[in-house]
Structure 1
């Protein structure tokens, strides 16, 4: 067991092992490089242990450590702007199962039903497990840009520069990711 005496924060080995696995999975998705992902996770965990006294318990330990990891990943991605790695945008082609008609209206039977008050879900651990499962089911490119935008909070220009995407391609990927997440959540949580 690792314990930081200054702030009375305890990092148990079994907690860190589970957290490290989640962090590595997230970092791999974002960086598409095993070594960079491992480095980012190690730096984030080392930073968390080094700065344990700054953990104010206003969030969970997982949230706090993931925020450190997000900053590490964002720094790595921003550093790659000079040498972006181009990945084929397989999901940018027109999709036949698009839920909209030619005028942009919902196809018959494709209109999603209302979810009601979703604010209560932010504290529901089971909901976030279902959300994570839905996110993992997305095509890799969609999941990657969704997480870069919504979780790491990079802006469109940063994502486009990092992945050499046009703004249009980025918007298509984000749109499809959100549609698939909505469908997955509707089928697996809101039913």
Structure 2
């Protein structure tokens, strides 16, 4: 093994801090949670975590140490999740697959937030962790009913907090279509929650 000072002179990455043998113990649960909250598919989440470890092993020499191992592995997994979003949304018509009904405009076009008159009411679960868990299960079921493209856009925007420009680029949707998808997704989730959480 080359001394650390010699590696610095040759500008080679110091991979001595990387320990692939401990990745599963240290990061598997975290990465699985990251994937399952974005995909809502347990088997797919497990597969993506495994693929992440394999991809990281192949690229271990490229790790520059600018971030922690966990951050690096999460970035690899994030790219794999986006690939799933692309795959699920490719081939879908950019037009709505849900029957259009005449609807009032519920959102302010300037900032995308609810108009005060149409703002959803509190469900009264804010303090009860058991009810919160039940609510999250219903929310996940409602999200499963969304078309793949809608789910991908909504998750990237509101779970991953990605920029609109990045989402549009990665999923190949126009900015106008993005806002239509977000609008329709919010309406669908609201209707589903009001129907199933009473």
TM-score of the superposed pair, with normalisation by structure 2: 0.51
Answer whether contact 1:71 1:152 (CA < 8 A) is retained. Answer: no
> Does residue 150 of structure 1 match 2:143?
no
Structure 2 CA distance for aligned equivalents of residues 94 and 27 of structure 1? 20
Partner of 1:53: none
Match of 2:93 among 90, 108, 114: 90
Q: Deviations over 1:119-142 (max 9, x none)?
A: 447771111111111111111111
Structure 2 CA distance for aligned equivalents of residues 76 and 175 of structure 1? 26
Match of 1:162 among 157, 167, 170: 170
Gap runs ≥5 in structure 1:
1-10, 48-64
Gap runs ≥5 in structure 2:
1-24, 57-69, 108-117
Structure 2 CA distance for aligned equivalents of residues 169 and 98 of structure 1? 18
Relative contact order: is structure 1 or structure 2 higher (C-alpha 8 Å, sep ≥ 6)?
A: 1
Per the TM alignment, residue 42 of structure 1 is displaced from its structure 2 partner at its CA by: 2.4
TM-score of the superposed pair, with normalisation by structure 1: 0.52
Per the TM alignment, residue 43 of structure 1 is displaced from its structure 2 partner at its CA by: 6.1
Partner of 1:57: none
Classify 1:105/1:76 alpha carbon distance in 2 versus 1 (closer, same or farther; 3 Å). closer
Answer whether contact 2:40 2:144 (CA < 8 A) is retained. Answer: no
CA RMSD, 1 decimal:
4.5
Greater C-alpha Rg: 2
Q: Deviations over 1:134-180 (max 9, x none)?
A: 11111111111111111122111111100111001111111111111
Paired residues, number:
141
Classify 1:43/1:152 alpha carbon distance in 2 versus 1 (closer, same or farther; 3 Å). farther
> Does residue 114 of structure 1 match 2:117?
no
Q: What SS does the corresponding residue of 1:92 show, helix, strand or coil? A: coil
Describe how 1:165-180 pairs up with structure 2 within 5 A.
Answer: 165-180=173-188
